[in-house]
Amino acid sequence: MEMKVEIISKETIKPSSPTSAHLRRFAISVFDQFAASVYIPLVLFYADAPRAGPEIHETLGRMKSALSETLARFYPLAGRIADNVRVDCTDEGADYFEAQVTGIGVREILQSPDPDALKLLLPVDIDSPESFHGRLVSVQSSFFVGGGVAVGVCVSHKVADTSTLSSFLHSWAAAACGGGSVAELPAPDLSTASTLFPPSEALSSLRPGKMLKQKCQSRRYGFRPAEIAALRARAASSIAAQPTRVEAMSALIWKCAMEAAASSGRSLLAQTVNIRKRMEPPLAPSSVGCLISYFTAKLDENDEHQEKDLLPMLVAKMREGMDDFLGNYAKRLGGSEGFSTLCELNERAGELMRTYGPSFYSVTSWCRFGLYDIDFGWGRPDWTSICSSEFKNALVLMDARDGEGAEAWVMLGEAEMAAFEKDRDLLRYATPNPSAWTGPCQP
């Protein structure tokens, strides 16, 4: 049967306490000003949530109360973007939906996830203009007939990145499971981003543009720890003696994508960088905002790679790209040159996208953000996922539930995907759409 999702209720969750008058005009950072006007999506599956009865209603009641408390702590997320310089913290709150899923059970969707169907478990379209003009946070709790809940969360990229989303969700879950555990979490750092990277009035009139979307297909691949270890060993070189798992997986997918596109040997990879870790001194993980930049790795026709294994070369180029970013950009971001440096990086990104066109790839890592530790009262999630996307040549890496394996979400054009998913080198290391079911073999 086809999965159907019916919204059965909608309400607005407002902060549990009003924002003080002196905090109502919240300055965003220059990073936020440049951020794309899209939502960051995440779906968390809890297969053991009961089908009905007082227990699930009690947990959902705690979740909504905890969301209200968490919005008070992260008060800008309950506001609205007034312009591209500030958020008006008027406590308008977050949208909260409850939905009923029919036609499929939670076990079936976890055993064979459908990237397109997962969109139905999100409260809003990823590219909705609401991410700039409306709600900054939306939540949808979807109930499966035979038991199990999927919690879909969307947070505007204009005020958050994956690190901020993770901090928000951990705070929310801790409040839902008992107020004492909230005290153990670091308070959200709401001021550092705009203090170190103040907004520019020159960007106040900048309005969201349309993200470049193209007809493409999304595929999900699983990497087990043993395959990751073998891939890392293969990708090692004198420049990168111990490649990280993100470097090794990114290089493999980049290589296979280029081959699927019958590339001439000229290509570029842009990888996002969480600048919290790259500043001197590093910023706290609890720093709120879209605090990301990127580095690039280029493969040109004159690179001698025809007779060699491309993996070590690609990882080496990624390592060189990161070193270039750290040496020539990261230190300038936090100083008086911060705004001009960001303008330079964004202008450079545009030029590279125009130059490399269909050979331009992007990668984002969601690894090591503790997304499998988000417990609202039903235990750890059985699976955390994103969904299909129309942003071509994109790669998103995520942790597997065991913390050692990983998942890769790959978005390519239809023709390229047809060749990519048959690549023997890819299939040596990656399992197409592995089961995310963690329950017993028998229902």
442 pLDDT band, cuts 50/70/90, is very low
pLDDT at 5 (0 to 100): 97
| pLDDT exceeds 90 at position 93 | yes
Lowest mean pLDDT among 153-157, 310-314, 331-335, 399-403: 331-335
CA distance 410 to 218: 6
**By the 8 A CB rule, do 116 and 387 touch?**
yes
Q: Greater confidence, 275 or 345? A: 275
| pLDDT exceeds 90 at position 437 | yes
pTM of the predicted model as reported, rounded to 2 decimal places: 0.94
| pLDDT exceeds 90 at position 258 | yes
* Digit-coded pLDDT (tens) for 38-87: 999 999 999 998 877 777 888 899 999 999 999 999 999 999 999 899 99
pLDDT at 235 (0 to 100): 96
pLDDT at 413 (0 to 100): 94
Which domains are present in the chain?
4-203 (3.30.559.10), 216-432 (3.30.559.10)
| pLDDT exceeds 50 at position 370 | yes
Q: Looking at the DSSP assignment, which residues form a beta bridge with residue 142?
A: 99, 150
| pLDDT exceeds 50 at position 351 | yes
CA distance 37 to 394: 17
Which residues are known to be catalytic?
Answer: 157, 375
* High-pLDDT (> 90) share of the chain, %: 75
* Digit-coded pLDDT (tens) for 280-335: 889 999 999 999 999 999 988 777 655 578 999 999 999 999 999 998 888 788 77
Pick from 136, 168, 142: nearest CA to 371 = 168
Q: What is the mean pLDDT of the segment spanning 340-348?
A: 85
* Digit-coded pLDDT (tens) for 415-426: 999 999 999 999
| pLDDT exceeds 60 at position 18 | yes
Question: In the predicted model, what is the mean pLDDT of the chain?
Answer: 92
Q: Looking at the DSSP assignment, which residues form a beta bridge with residue 63?
A: none
Q: Looking at the DSSP assignment, which residues form a beta bridge with residue 364?
A: 396
pLDDT at 305 (0 to 100): 56
